[in-house]
Amino acid sequence: MTSPQERAEIKTAEILTAFTNGGRRGVVVDSPPGAGKSTLVGRIAAEIATAGDTVVVVAQTNAQVDDLVAKIATRLPGLIVGRLSRDGYLPPPTLLLPNVQVASRVDDLPDCRVVVGTAAKWAQVRSARTWPWAVVDEAYQMRSDLLLLIVPLFKQMLFVGDPGQLDPFSPIDGERWSGLPWDPMQSAVAVLLRNNPDIVPHELPVTWRLPASATRLVQTAFYPFSEFTPGTHDDERTIHVPTVGIRRTVADEVIDLAADTGWGFLELPHRNTLRTDAETVAATADVAVRLLQRGTETVCEHAPGGRRLTAARIAVGAAHRDQVAAITRALRARGEIADGIRVDTANRLQGAEFDITVILHPLSGRIDATPFHLTPGRLCVLASRHRHACIVVGRRGIPELLDAHPGTEPVHLKDFIKFPDGWEANQAVLAHLSNHRVSALH
């Protein structure tokens, strides 16, 4: 039996060889949540740069770029790393390193062995230059139209991304392109694979983030065709919550359950509500705050002796911006203790990692589901950000809602079919949660 570390290492070496020695124009790496995607990107960039070539790294958001620049520059103290940015960009303190250069024109970064920028920025580059290597991070979040613009800049490209995350978005109805192999609404990787069936994606085999308690569910619900295993055992990751004697609330109950099993579902009574349902919002905020009030401790491979859970290690996730705003307000009303808890939409939580997450279920209180709510990526992001436990808050009636949901979405010929279907993924998660339920009865 090889250890997870060994398996991950073997895979990384395989990817590196396939990319640098395989002579292929494109290599794709699929990564489940927390499988060390950006570590891989940083490492491959560093290896190519060390070998003496120039390499470009493409990410999707400025935060991702800043993060990668810091990682790579620290890894390569002897080489200069360029940060391609928009005009007027102010680098964060983490980038104030001696070997980082910032410029808004790529021609102003001639000495850099590694140049990092967003896809949108690379799509503006008008340089006569081309680069031998490019590594694209979060490639499933990039739309294929953007890929069209940057491909000519590079000779060989490595695409790394998480296929289970949210698809790129457009407010436009793209029906006129449906079924085209270069549908611009699809993700860069989907189009690339469709047009190059000979490219078989590599898969990273180990999730370092997800605890053993979450790996199975996330895998079967969202990655039915992948095989990955947790990097830790059940008993390597534990949560200790000091017990409460008197006035134990439902929030306490669901926290205790999640501390034991890694999952908790706080179920409020059924009612059709607005998106920003005050009771659900309050319950969500209560759970997050209670985790801190009770002095929760987490034990893991990084802190075998245990460490106190801090606000910064908690995330609260929701589907809509107005829900995020309402939860933020509810947390603020609960005093300073909640300062530093990250509250955000699934979109913006992509790629982030926390110890414990609290989620407002996207279908809570609704009468019907919409394609927005059923997008599997949305629930997948929300249910796969945690290292220890995930607590879901929602109103009763979600399975009934799903069962009553009309299965009459339009179908396009030759369309990109994505599996799993959101409806089924939602059912799978709910079935799992039903075994971790705490009812809040009024």
3-state secondary structure of 76: coil
Token look-up 């339009």 returns 410
Residue type, 103: A
**Which of 23, 407 has the CB closer to other proteins?**
407
Give me the least distance between CB of 109 and other proteins, in Å please. Answer: 18
Per-position DSSP letters for 262-331, written without gaps between them: SEEEEEEPP----TT-HHHHHHHHHHHHHHHHTT-EEE-SS-TT-EE--GGGEEEEESSHHHHHHHHHHH
Give me the least distance between CB of 400 and other proteins, in Å please. Answer: 8
**Which of 195, 261 has the CB closer to other proteins?**
195
**Which of 76, 433 has the CB closer to other proteins?**
433
Q: Which residues bind other proteins (CB under 8 A)?
A: 25-26, 120, 123-126, 144-145, 147-149, 151-152, 170-172, 174-185, 188, 191-192, 195-196, 271-274, 276-278, 321-322, 324-325, 329, 332, 365-368, 400, 403-414, 417, 419, 421, 423-424, 427
Rounded Cα gap, residues 173 and 180, in angstroms: 14
Rounded Cα gap, residues 329 and 341, in angstroms: 12
Give me the least distance between CB of 123 and other proteins, in Å please. Answer: 5
Rounded Cα gap, residues 81 and 71, in angstroms: 10
Give me the least distance between CB of 15 and other proteins, in Å please. Answer: 19
Beta partners for 307?
298
Give me the least distance between CB of 310 and other proteins, in Å please. Answer: 22
**Which of 3, 195 has the CB closer to other proteins?**
195
DSSP state of 49: H
For the record, the structure tokens of 13 come out as 């070496």
Rounded Cα gap, residues 381 and 215, in angstroms: 13
**Which of 423, 437 has the CB closer to other proteins?**
423
Give me the least distance between CB of 314 and other proteins, in Å please. Answer: 19
Give me the least distance between CB of 25 and other proteins, in Å please. Answer: 6
Provide the residue count of the chain. 442
- Is there a contact between 117 and 135 (Cβ–Cβ < 8 Å)? no
**Which of 190, 214 has the CB closer to other proteins?**
190
**Which of 4, 184 has the CB closer to other proteins?**
184
